[in-house]
Amino acid sequence: MNSAFANTWAITKRELSSYFASPVAYVFIVIFLLMTGFFTFMAGGFFQRGEASLTSFFLWHPWLYLFLVPAVGMRLWSEERRLGTLELLLTMPVTAAQAIIGKFLASWLFLALSLALTFPVWFTVNYLGTPDNGVIIAGYVGSLLLAGAYLAITCMTSALTRNQVIAFILSVVICLFLILAGWPPVMDFLTSVGAPGLKDFVARLSVMTHFESFQRGVLDFRNVLYFASVIGFCLFTTGVIIRTHRAG
C-alpha cells in the first residue's frame, strides 16, 4: 500500500516540478490573480455592496474556472500522447490508476496554490469589517472542489485527443453544460420536450446549486459527495480511455 502512495506522490512531484520549470505556471497564476481581482473589485462591486463578505469574490469562480482550469489540464494527457511518452509512462512500475491520480493531484495542488494566493482579499475584508470567516472558509472549500471537478473533466477530455485545443474546447463545453443545467431556458426546453423526470435529474446535475450551498457557510455531505462523484467518475473514465489507447 505504501508503494502505491509513494508512486502516486512521485508522479505528482514530477508533474508539479515540470509546471514550474516553464514560465507557463507563473503566467497562469498571474492571470488568475489579475482576473479574480478585477472581477471582484470592478465588476463584482466589492465596495458598492458595502458588506464585509467575499460574495463578490466567489461569485465569479464558476465562470473564471470555466476557462482557466481547462487551460491547466488540457496538456495533462494530450501532451503525453503527442510526444509518445504515454507508453513510456505506463511501462514504468506505476499503475495507470496511480499515474492518473498523481497527475490529477499535481494539477489540483497547483490550482489550490493559485487559490491560496488570493489571501490578500481575505485580509482586506477583515481589515474593513468583521466578516463571517466560517462562511469564507466554506466558500474556499467549495471553490477548491469546483476546480477539482472541472479539472477531472479536463483530464478526461485531454486523454481523448492528441490535440490540446480540442481537449480544451471539449472540456469547456462539458463544464458549461454542468453550469447551465439548472438554468431556466434549459429547464424550459426540457419541459417543452416533455420530460419532467429528466428535467429534475438534469437540475440536480447543476454545479451551481452545489457550489452555492458552500457559499452559505455549510459543508454539506451531499454537496461534497456530488463533487467527489464527478471527480471519481471522470478519473475512472480517463483510465478507461487510456487503457483503450494503450491496447490500441
Partner 1 sequence: MKNRKQLETVLYSGLGVLVMLVIAVALNAIFAGARLRADLTEDQAFTLSEGTKRILGRLDTPVQVRFYFSASAPDMDPALKTYAQRVQDLLNEFRALSNGKLEIKKFDPSPDSDAEDSANVDGIQGQQIQPPFGDPIYFGLAVSSLDNRAVIPFISPQRERLLEYDLARAIAQVSRPSKPVLGVMSGLPIFGGMDPMAMMRGGGQRSEPWIFVSELKADYEVREIPVTAEKVDDDVNLLVVVYPKGVTEATQFAMDQFVLRGGKLIAFLDPLSIMDARSAMGGNPLQAAAGSGATLDRLVKAWGYDFDLNKVVSDKQFQTELFDPRTQQPRANPSFLSLSGRGFDTNDVVTSQLGRVTLPFTGWFDGSAAEGLKATTLFRSSPDSQLTDKMMAQFGATEEFKASGKEHPLAVRLAGRFKTAFPDGRPVAPGDTNAPAGEVLKEGKADSVVVLVGDSDLLHEQNFARIQELFGQRIMLPFAANLTFLQNVIEQLTGDPDLIGIRSRATQMRPFTKVREMQAEAEIRYESKIRELEKSLQDTQQKLNEIQRAKADVSQQAILSDEQQQEILRFQQERAKVNQELKAVRKQLRQDVDRLENTLKWANIVGMAFLVTAAGLVIAFVKRQRTAAR
Using CB under 8 A, list all residues that contact partner 1.
Answer: 20, 23, 26, 29-30, 33-34, 37-38, 40-42, 46-47, 50-53, 117-118, 120-121, 124, 127-135, 137-138, 182-184, 187-188, 191, 196, 201, 203-204, 206, 209, 212, 216-222, 225-226, 229-230, 232-233, 236-237, 240, 243-244, 247-248
- Which residue's CB is nearer to partner 1, number 167 or number 235? 235
- Which residue's CB is nearer to partner 1, number 70 or number 142? 142
- Which residue's CB is nearer to partner 1, number 43 or number 173? 43
Q: At what angle do helices 221-247 and 207-215 cross, to 10 degrees?
A: 140
What gap in Å lies between CA 163 and CA 117, rounded to an integer?
Answer: 31
CA dihedral (164, 168, 171, 177) positive or negative: negative
Contact 39/64 with Cβ under 8 angstroms? yes
What gap in Å lies between CA 103 and CA 98, rounded to an integer?
Answer: 8
For residue 58, the minimal CB distance to partner 1 (Å) is 14
- Which residue's CB is nearer to partner 1, number 5 or number 233? 233
For residue 239, the minimal CB distance to partner 1 (Å) is 9
First vs last C-alpha separation in the chain = 30
Tell me how crowded residue 229 is: count the other CB atoms within 10 A of its CB.
Answer: 11
- Which residue's CB is nearer to partner 1, number 10 or number 29? 29
Type of residue found at 142: G
For residue 2, the minimal CB distance to partner 1 (Å) is 27
Tell me how crowded residue 3 is: count the other CB atoms within 10 A of its CB.
Answer: 11
- Which residue's CB is nearer to partner 1, number 40 or number 164? 40
For residue 245, the minimal CB distance to partner 1 (Å) is 11
For residue 7, the minimal CB distance to partner 1 (Å) is 23
For residue 27, the minimal CB distance to partner 1 (Å) is 8
CA 36-148-71 angle, 5° bins? 60
Contact 109/16 with Cβ under 8 angstroms? yes
